[in-house]
């Protein structure tokens, strides 16, 4: 890796603004993620965490600000009169460089596990089928599901399905992986197997943004933690400082309440 690659952020978000009618979901969000960094995004319900990752992945339009992936403006192009939205093909090209893992897995139920993982590499990225299959089997082994290639999603537990969804996201070699509460819909006993896979990914050098309520994961796996409230970034600090020395009253209150909450209120 050259010095430049180390220094330039993989993802840069500047003054990001997103509204739904009169409701301001993101109110001038700034933050950066560098190569191989893991950033946890925490905050109360409705603070804009999902909106943030959905905007980064261009699943939502934005009302202001800008986002850059490896220095390339996302969603827009410069034009003699200013900027204009990119065409769909260019948006898709940018989306292909990111991977997203959702709370609800979003696997295709009528496809096998293997096909769920190989479809995008083959159809979208043009990887030869045999190569895509070999890579998918390797990834399945890595997430502990080597024997499930021919199963259908309904035959798997939630934790297994989410591990397949992670393998699928990794299969396209994304520059950055975005997770939106990947363990929130799982039964408590299945949470750890998914967090372990995410920890392994982090240790392998994957660049990740993880929206989560799992404070232990944020504390021990994330390099930095971002605390959001009411559409704004309130604190953005190295994880150790974030937990040991929260500056704002809002973060202190949030950490106390979340730590005191009954362990993992699944479905709450």
Query: What is the pairing mode between strands 176-180 and 98-101?
Result: parallel
Near ligand ATP in 4-63, by CB under 6 A: 20, 23, 25, 43, 45-51
Residue (37 or 180) nearer to ligand ATP, CB: 180
Residue (28 or 46) nearer to ligand ATP, CB: 46
- In the chain, the largest separation of any two C-alpha atoms, in whole Å, equals 56
Please report whether residue 2 would count as binding ligand ATP according to CB under 6 A.
no
Please report whether residue 182 would count as binding ligand ATP according to CB under 6 A.
no
How many C-beta atoms surround the C-beta of residue 185 within 10 A? 16
Residue (41 or 145) nearer to Mg ion, CB: 41
Please report whether residue 239 would count as binding Mg ion according to CB under 5 A.
no
The distance of closest approach from Cβ of residue 261 to ligand ATP in the complex, given in angstroms and rounded to an integer, is 13
* Cα gap 55→60, rounded to integer Å: 5
How many residues in the shown chain lie near ligand ATP by CB under 6 A? 11
What separation in angstroms does the CA of 175 have from each of 7, 62, 111, 208, 229? 15, 22, 26, 9, 27
- Partner whose binding site includes residue 43, from ligand ATP, Mg ion, none (CB under 5 to 8 Å by kind): ligand ATP
Near Mg ion in 43-102, by CB under 5 A: 50
Nearest to 161 by CA among 180, 140, 179: 140
Beta-carbon contacts of residue 251 (< 8 Å; ≥ 6 apart): 227, 234, 235, 242
Please report whether residue 212 would count as binding Mg ion according to CB under 5 A.
no
Q: Which parts of this chain interact with ligand ATP (CB under 6 A)?
A: 20, 23, 25, 43, 45-51
């Amino acid at each position: 890796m050259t010095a430049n690659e180390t220094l330039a952020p993989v993802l840069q978000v500047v003054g990001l603004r997103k509204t739904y009618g009169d409701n301001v979901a993101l109110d001038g969000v700034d933050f950066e993620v560098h190569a191989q960094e893991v950033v946890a995004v925490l905050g109360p319900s409705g603070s804009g965490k999902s909106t943030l990752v959905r905007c980064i992945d261009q699943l939502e339009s934005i009302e202001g600000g800008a986002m850059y992936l490896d220095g390339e403006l996302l969603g827009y192009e410069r034009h003699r009169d200013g900027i204009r939205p990119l065409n769909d093909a260019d948006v898709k090209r940018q989306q292909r460089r990111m991977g997203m893992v959702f709370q609800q897995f979003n696997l295709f139920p009528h496809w096998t596990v293997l096909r769920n993982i190989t479809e995008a590499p083959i159809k979208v990225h043009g990887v030869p089928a045999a190569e895509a299959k070999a890579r998918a089997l390797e990834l399945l082994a890595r997430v502990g599901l080597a024997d499930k290639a021919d199963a259908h999603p309904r035959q798997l537990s939630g934790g297994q399905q989410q591990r397949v969804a992670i393998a699928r996201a990794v299969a396209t070699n994304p520059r950055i992986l975005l997770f939106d509460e990947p363990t929130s819909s799982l039964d408590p006993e299945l949470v750890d197997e998914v967090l372990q896979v995410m920890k392994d990914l982090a240790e392998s050098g994957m660049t990740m943004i993880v929206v989560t309520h799992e404070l232990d994961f944020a504390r021990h796996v994330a390099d930095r933690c971002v605390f959001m409230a009411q559409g704004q970034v309130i604190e953005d600090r190295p994880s150790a400082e974030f937990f040991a020395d929260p500056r704002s009253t809002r973060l202190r209150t949030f950490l106390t309440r979340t730590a005191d909450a009954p362990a993992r209120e699944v479905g709450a």
